[in-house]
Amino acid sequence: MTTTSASDLLPPPPERFNLARWCLDENVRLRGDKVAMILAHPEGDGFTDERWTFREFEDCILRMAAGLEATGKLQRGDRVMLRLENGIDYCLLFFACLAGGYVPLPSSSQLTAEEASFLLSDSGSRAIAMADGLALDDVPADVLILTPKAVHDLRTFARRNEFADTAANDPAFLIYTSGTTGRPKGVQHAHRTGWGRQPMYDGWIDHSDTDVMLHAGRFNWTYTLGVGLFDPWARGATAVLFNGEARQDIWPRMIETYGTTLFAAVPGVYRQMMKYNDLADYNLSSLRHALVSGEAMPPALRDQWRTETGLEMYEALGMSEFSTYVSSSPRVPVRVGSPGRPQAGRRIAVLSRDTADGDDPLPAGETGMLAVHRDEAGLMLGYWNRPEEDALVYRGDWFCGGDLAAIDEDGYLWYHGRNDDLMNAMGYRVSPLEVEHALSAHPDIAEVAVTEVRISDQVSIICAFVVPKDADNADAANILNFAQTHLARYKCPREVIFIEALPRTANGKVRRRSLPEFHASAANKLL
């Protein structure tokens, strides 16, 4: 079943297209002195903030783009890795790279030196912006190192460039996500991704230039860069973000302080927000509705939000390769258990899991591989230097990212999980192979398998199932500490379960779906 005819599709983008110009240039012309972004910092019970108008932001990034060019070290299309602490310079440099025709690679400050070195090497980045506390020891001599001071100084470069004359299909930014090989893989997006996000605006976000969008994420996350910045700016709205250690009351207080009309976060943020706050204590009258993505929203949590705020929450389903493409909105009523309908202008299909059945869409109600048409403007260019990975996800005219779903007669999508074993941790997709690869280096581990385990209706964790070399001296805390030195925090297992042998199929493959049984068994022993 396809949900959109070719005649209803979003028209193709202009041949020449720059993502940064798309976000900023018209805003400067129409509303240059309007506040484009507020970056709030905690101070006592309140906030201090940095405010940037559209004109100030554009001028700054074009000066930074000129400064990058003046180094003589970068050519159009070169990758620039961002390994900075969260802050305004992170955001400015990302957009400066887009404006200058360079390809930023946002990375998390949580990455270990080992993980960051892999990204630097695999991406072939020609420059790295690197905070002092996040330094790497093995940066190649031919890679330009931008210190925090150097990045900051770029703001006042003597001249400014014009936006680079990039094509819609030119590489815009590179992000890394978990792959099937145990190492992260680079997802390369084109400048046209900005154009391709338009079906989200009425199909999920429902915003205009009068809105104030608060996003709970950090700058390294494409959910933040996209929904928190690209999308509000595409319609002239103000973006609000937070920089600092989040207190339990931070999000309702920010909604109240900044007159937030739209709030976007992952389910875990909403869970903590309501667990530790009485929302009736805050003035949330400015808020029109909430947005949620990153992982499935538990119905009970949505109901709690509705009860406590009287507001609706609209969910979206997406992926690193394509952002969101299925959602509910004021125009698409929420149906419990479904993330919504494919957004108007999208071409979405469900294909048979068996490639031998061909690539014709399945009828309504049948479960199969969720697919988006390869001509979608928001779809990635491909995986960076991974032709074998590209071959796995393209089927004729369709891209299949590994999600299982069905679309009913009313056009609502019903999500049935992953066709592979990727885990979801704090909204991030995490490969069990990557975690296993890191843990297998522990001297006390004979074998290890990792999977996601649901511990309640609303919470799941990454759990490591370990066959120890010496069962009498097995130390779970030691393994968890080891993980924290080799993996980003969100990738680390939260529990270690010791078992005698890993469950395997007849041909020797680990039966991951059987692993949660061992977790349940261990829990029962404690009762």
| pLDDT tens per residue across span 159-196 | 999 999 999 999 999 999 865 556 899 999 999 999 99
Closest CA to 466 of 499, 510, 423: 499
Does any domain span residue 63?
no
- CATH number for 472: 3.30.300.30
Percentage above 70 pLDDT, the chain: 96
227: Cβ–Cβ under 8 A, 6 or more apart, which residues?
A: 205, 213, 215, 264, 291, 293
Q: State the pLDDT at residue 136.
A: 92
Residue 504: pLDDT band with limits 50, 70, 90: confident
Out of 1-5, 243-247, 378-382, least confident range: 1-5
Q: Does residue 317 have a pLDDT over 90?
A: yes
Tell me if 231 is assigned to some domain.
Answer: no
Mean pLDDT computed over every residue of the chain: 93
Domain boundaries, position 502: 423-526
Over residues 201-248, the pLDDT tens digits come to 999 999 999 999 999 999 999 999 999 999 999 999 999 999 998 888
In a domain, residue 249? The reply is: no
Is 488 a domain residue?
Answer: yes
Is 315 part of any domain?
no
**pLDDT band at 527, cuts 50/70/90?**
very low
Q: How many domains are contained in the chain?
A: 1
In-domain check, residue 443: yes
What letters, b where the CB count within 10 A reaches 16 and e where it falls short, cover 470-481? Answer: eeeebeeeebbe
Cβ atoms within 10 Å of 85's Cβ, excluding its own: 16
450 within domain boundaries: yes
Per-residue pLDDT at 183: 81
φ, ψ dihedrals at 348, nearest 5°: -120, 145
| Position 291 confidence tier, pLDDT thresholds 50, 70, 90 | very high
* Alpha carbons 179 and 390: distance in angstroms, whole number: 11
**Residue 35 confidence (pLDDT) above 80:** yes
Q: Is the pLDDT of residue 1 over 70?
A: no
Does position 526 have pLDDT exceeding 60, yes or no? no
The answer to whether residue 479 is domain-embedded is yes
The pTM of this model reads 0.88
Give me the mean pLDDT over the 376-400 stretch: 95
Does pLDDT of 6 surpass 60? no
